[in-house]
Structure 1
């Protein structure tokens, strides 16, 4: 079942036997291994939609952690690609790079990446649909066409978009293998000691506030962020950091810097607001990766936006 990619609109049913090397593996991991051109999110969506069948019957997302047994036959229906139900809305996108396979854009602070509560028709996805005329990958689901990774609403900077499923798969693999190199710039309170360091902790949902993430000693996912101090303010109240996240957990840099005792200026969730910077001072400056089709290395950068630059000029 190697290298199978159905064409746009094609329906197919695959049969997968559990061979000795997969015996005892989780179902979702087994499916990802056998269907390497599909992301884990896509596999979870297929399970949730009832497209996976075994001798036990139709399986669902709750079965994703079940252990597969030697000789078991699984039948998987790969659904037809469906047109997006989202409405394309013309937006003024700042495009940093574009070809027939991918786009790299500068996401402004304040804009959400995909539809969510309160942002049903003004997400970045709506603008991408208008620009690309619905020629975006569907591996992330109908609500997230083209989205390979994301930035928080109030974080600005470089964002990578896939125009078709093959590009999406290769890019997702690079993110999963930690071969995409990301550089962020952050303005924080205080001065980290040492000025150059590495943060390694587990991050998980805060049990008391589900919309927040928190550091945990026993639960959550392992996460790493390296940082170095670029500048310190004249008044000593702020520092300008360069951050290199080696993993990609939700709110990772924001949580890590808060845990360090040097929260990001303007971060109203993990730090505190600031009158001169009404959003969190975090910017995705650089993204380095391999082009998913040509395999040429790419390095895309976007300098600081005006609001963060103004803050630096005033305090540093």
Structure 2
């Protein structure tokens, strides 16, 4: 047992529940007894599995205590403040002293965050670029001027110098960047069109975004339908006029055309799937990630002022998906 929780190492605090504690919330009593942690911090530790009662894990910070219970709260050692360099292979399309353009594979998280502290693109960039890359635009997200979702593949640009970081950040803020994505969406979309709907956090599910009537950020997506398979799946090119979280995924889902494989916005089997032959339908419904690829990225080089444009083909898994859904 430790009477005070260290900020530098993993430690724990234990407490026998006395009669004076009975009937009160676990998080409140623990916070009061420890004295050096806020109640909100204690609540988070309980909810994330760092608490036991009588030796059994509990995740409910509000449960009522009973006399004689033995409580133990574990405080994990803090993660390093700065991401660590790791040697992770990168597919680099272009590199100079100011920037790197790469083809990010699906499954690679862009920057460290709770639950993904290592194995990210930032860790790989630190390993590739060396110590001089640290702190470019911030210690925890060096070089990052835009992001792709973990399971979205495709073209990204990363800044290597303060000049490039500022110029590229400004270009994204001004929307002075060419971006085109390829998406496989359920249903038959028109030949072309636009989705114009402000996006905000879904109040019923904080992990989701949604189109909102007020309080969101304006979002505009232009699309062109490139192919239609079995009148059930559309291959769509989407061009972003804005860059909101999950923008393409939200706009297509809101319009009734969620992406194949989207774990967040595809909650039921879409009606369009019934038009597919059984074997093709099964494979499409089992596709393991959102079928979205950042195919085109164009911008002005921050130093030379030359216009650069990069295009990446569909990765192997999306090529295989296209072959499957195009079968007769």
Answer yes or no: is the 8 Å Cα contact 1:114–1:124 preserved in 2.
yes
Distance 1:259-1:140 versus aligned 2 partners, 3 A rule: farther
Report whether the alignment pairs 1:166 with 2:173.
no
SS in 2 for 1:131: helix
The alignment partner of 1:135 has SS state of helix
CA distance in 2 between counterparts of 1:134 and 1:146 reads 13
Q: Say whether residues 1:301 and 2:298 are aligned partners.
A: no
TM-score (norm 1): 0.71
CA distance in 2, matches of 1:177, 1:312: 34
- Which runs of structure 2 are paired with 1:252-291 in the superposition (5 Å)? 252-272=247-267, 274-291=284-301
Report deviation, 1:137. Answer: 6.7
- Residue matched to 1:27: none
The structure number with the bigger radius of gyration is: 2
RMSD: 1.6
* CA–CA distance in structure 1, aligned partners of residues 87 and 285 of structure 2: 32
The question of whether the paired residues in 2 share the 8 Å contact of 1:186 and 1:240 is answered with yes
Paired position in structure 1 for 2:215: 219
Query: 1: distance between equivalents of 2:227 and 2:93?
Result: 27
Deviation of the 1:140 alpha carbon: 3.8
Alpha-carbon offset, residue 85 of structure 1: 2.2
Pairwise CA distance, 1:303: 0.4
Q: Which residues in structure 2 correspond to 1:1-316 (within 5 Å)?
A: 85-136=82-133, 138=135, 140-192=137-189, 194-233=190-229, 235-272=230-267, 274-316=284-326
Question: C-alpha offsets along residues 102-158 of structure 1, whole Å, 9 cap, x if unaligned?
Answer: 000111101100001221111110000000003337354211001010000000000
Give the 3 Å change call, closer, same or farther, for CA 158–132 of structure 1 in structure 2: same
Q: Is the 8 A contact 2:137 2:162 kept in 1?
A: no
Name the CA distance, whole Å, in 1 between partners of 2:302 and 2:208: 33
Q: Is the 8 A contact 1:287 1:299 kept in 2?
A: yes
Deviation at 1:277, TM superposition (A): 1.9
Q: Which residue is 1:79 aligned to? A: none
Aligned partners of 2:83, 2:224: CA distance in 1, in Å? Answer: 41
- Once residues 124 and 197 of structure 2 are traced to their aligned partners in structure 1, the CA distance between those partners, rounded to angstroms, is 36
Q: Runs ≥4 in structure 1, deviation > 4 angstroms?
A: 272-276
Equivalent residues, number: 232
